[in-house]
Amino acid sequence: MHVTLPDGKQLDLPQGATALDAARAIGPRLAQDALAATANGDLVDLMTPLPEGASITLITKKNPADAAPVFRHSLGHTLSQAVGEFYQRKGYPREAVKRGVGPSIENGFYQDFDLPEPLKEEDLPEIEAIMREIIGRNLDIVRQDVGKAAALEQFGYDPYKVELIREFPDDEPVTFYTQGDYVDLCRGPHFPNTGKLPGAFKLMSTSGAYWRGNEKNPILQRVYGVAFTTQKELDEYLEKLEEAKRRDHRKLGRELELFLIDPLVGKGLPMWLPNGTILRDELTRFLREQQFQRDYQGVVTPNIGNLDLFRTSGHYPYYSDSQFEPLTVDEEQYMLKPMNCPFHIRIYASKPHSYRDLPVRLAEFGTVYRYEMSGELNGLTRVRGFTQDDAHIFARPDQLKKEFLDVLDLTVLVLKTFGMNDVRFRVGVRDPESDKYVGDPAQWEVAERQIIEAVEEVGLPYTIEPGDAAFYGPKLDFVVKDVLGREWQLGTIQVDYNLPERFDLTYTGEDGQEHRPVMIHRAPFGSLERFVGILIEHYGGDFPFWLAPRQVMIIPIADRHNAYAETLANEFKAAGLRAEVDDSNGRMNAKVRDAELHKIPVMLIVGDQEEARREVSVRERTPEGHKERKGVDFTALLAELQERYRTRA
């Protein structure tokens, strides 16, 4: 067999040769330094046979970061071995520890265990120390193919491994990896030796996880770790995690009194407190203004609908796993609304339309309900009841491109307004091998092509993600990176030829004949709950002035200044701004500190001199730090803040 090197040269190797054989053929030093390889662009380890004619690249100690998924996977095996040794040292037999899966993940790895007694967080440093012992043993990691019967005999004590092995075809070998006396069922890839694994790793936490993600299966204990090529990268990552804890929207949501999730109300059902409601209202006002400029019409639809509506749309049964169970009312079945689009479709269909009427743009801040497993719920970012900034555009086919570009422009404007400028654009298309999609493949091809042409016309970089489309049509998702470098999928635009077909929607064309409209589904925020949760963390609770629930705190130096402070607060309110007076008994410095803790962007200090001259002393929170101004004319300041609020600066 032969393989091709990056410079185009070919190596002749024995049949079934590995990347290590290729490295040895080039030179002994390369064979010593090699850590992993790529074959036709896929990461492989040095022990796996290469495909005939593969284009290969060898990864060495000079570029170990290229092999990060491989060394993270090997560290997962090292964790698994260390946990086994931890329990053996406590007197348990080797077979007492049973194992689920243990893949590499972004920034690290995890391993699932069925343990004789639960691991505690305080056990993690000891297990981490055992991992470092194992690395220090310089154990060769050996790959071996065995028959199915031998594999079942090897893991007869472990029901999780047995379940996986039984799913293998009888004529397909099962792959084991061995390091020292530790053996595991695994496809790989792995580093060739534990001694070559980087030491820049840390075990972070444990949690419960259903076996194979199914809540009907046993709950296993999952141990998470992070790993990087260098200690510097690990330290930076851990520092970023600490910053993420400080910005955690659940923590700030409590401190700033924005939202509440009450177990008596129900898991995943947030309630907006007064401060959070102001924040939500500012967001909806901003988007409604933009929609008004673009000729959207507002509608309001029920939170429950007849099950037949969702059968017709396809949401039931296509999304039945993520919906609440139907309920029976007067011998009819109903569902909590999982989507707004079927309701908007019925509004469109409620009267005839001419080609002159189109496009029809229907918009709603509509609350929907989805069943999420309790283990996946997370503050505002993963909930069971949420409000989408939803709209559906019913257009003629010749109007589609213009409408799509306008929605694209609106969504980019929304993200820029909130300082979310690091965005990547993801085109989700159907997977032809999957049966989860409905409609004519030819229409799918048209819709996918129209999205790609629109994105290319405005010069946006994009990736194509097969299998990421909605069941009824392809989509463009906006994936935003926040200030901590984390990615969030927010807005979406979807092109849909299928639901108009399923609901038999029509308009009368210039020729007097009936024609089928095309739909655009769009939600620039995605959902208010998720968007607010991300905003809280993006800003760290320090919202810009226009968005801050509490905009101005007026702090009298002494009780005799309270009346002047109240007069100023009333003038702010008359001008449409949110202002409060802290007339508590505390000292001025304590009041300033309290306003700081509540992240109020503008603090005004008033005393004798300020009252005599109708002035204020200003202390502002800014991204660059505090900004202070003394002797500021109040009328001028009021005009300045009004303008900042009006322009959403």
Task: Quickly state the pLDDT bin for 540 (edges 50, 70, 90).
Answer: very high
Catalytic residue among 81, 388, 494, 551: 388
Give the mean pLDDT of 205-221. 91
Residue bearing the bigger pLDDT, 317 or 225: 225
Q: Is 475 a catalytic residue?
A: yes
Helix or strand (DSSP H, E) at 42: strand 42-44
Using an 8 Å Cβ cutoff, are 259 and 380 in contact?
A: yes
Q: How far apart are CA 270 and CA 549, in angstroms?
A: 18
Residue 138 confidence (pLDDT): 95
Cβ neighbors of 461 (< 8 A, separation 6 or more) are 424, 425
Residue 458 confidence (pLDDT): 85
Give the mean pLDDT of 90-99. 95
The helix/strand/coil state of 160 is helix
Residue 11 confidence (pLDDT): 87
Residue 488 confidence (pLDDT): 86
Q: Is 2 a catalytic residue?
A: no
Q: How far apart are CA 410 and CA 86, in angstroms?
A: 56
Catalytic residue among 521, 538, 561, 619: 521
Residue 376 confidence (pLDDT): 83
Q: How far apart are CA 422 and CA 408, in angstroms?
A: 16
Using an 8 Å Cβ cutoff, are 486 and 542 in contact?
A: no
521 is in an annotated binding site: yes
Is the pLDDT assigned to residue 558 strictly greater than 80? yes
Q: Is 112 a catalytic residue?
A: no
Q: Is 550 a catalytic residue?
A: no
Q: Is 388 a catalytic residue?
A: yes
Task: Quickly state the pLDDT bin for 560 (edges 50, 70, 90).
Answer: very high
Residue 309 confidence (pLDDT): 95
Q: How far apart are CA 353 and CA 581, in angstroms?
A: 55
Residue 213 confidence (pLDDT): 85
For the record, the structure tokens of 272 come out as 């907006």
Q: What is the pLDDT of residues 31-44, one digit of tens each?
A: 888 889 889 988 88
- Beta strands 487-496 and 475-481 are antiparallel
Is the pLDDT assigned to residue 315 strictly greater than 90? no
Is the pLDDT assigned to residue 444 strictly greater than 80? yes
Nearest 10 degrees: Cα torsion 54, 60, 64, 70: 50
Q: Is 390 a catalytic residue?
A: yes
Is the pLDDT assigned to residue 320 strictly greater than 80? no
- For residue 453, the one-letter residue type is E
Averaged pLDDT score across all residues of the chain: 92
Give the mean pLDDT of 306-321. 86
Q: Is 190 a catalytic residue?
A: no
Catalytic residue among 45, 143, 161, 341: 341
Cis? peptide before 317, omega within 30° of 0: yes
Helix or strand (DSSP H, E) at 406: helix 400-417
392 is in an annotated binding site: yes
| Prediction pTM value | 0.80
Question: Percent of the chain having pLDDT more than 70?
Answer: 100
Q: What is the pLDDT of residues 577-632, one digit of tens each?
A: 999 999 998 899 999 999 999 999 999 999 999 999 999 999 999 877 788 999 99
Catalytic residue among 45, 389, 390, 482: 390
For the record, the structure tokens of 615 come out as 């002035």
Task: Quickly state the pLDDT bin for 171 (edges 50, 70, 90).
Answer: confident
Cis? peptide before 28, omega within 30° of 0: no
CB atoms < 10 A from the CB of 7, how many? 5
Using an 8 Å Cβ cutoff, are 138 and 194 in contact?
A: yes
- For residue 246, the one-letter residue type is R
315 is in an annotated binding site: no
The helix/strand/coil state of 585 is coil
Q: What is the pLDDT of residues 460-478, one digit of tens each?
A: 888 988 888 888 888 999 9
Give the mean pLDDT of 165-191. 91
CB atoms < 10 A from the CB of 53, how many? 11
The helix/strand/coil state of 555 is strand
State residue 626 phi and psi, 5-degree precision: -85, 145
The single residue listed with the structure tokens 């901003």 is 286
Catalytic residue among 370, 550, 591, 599: 370
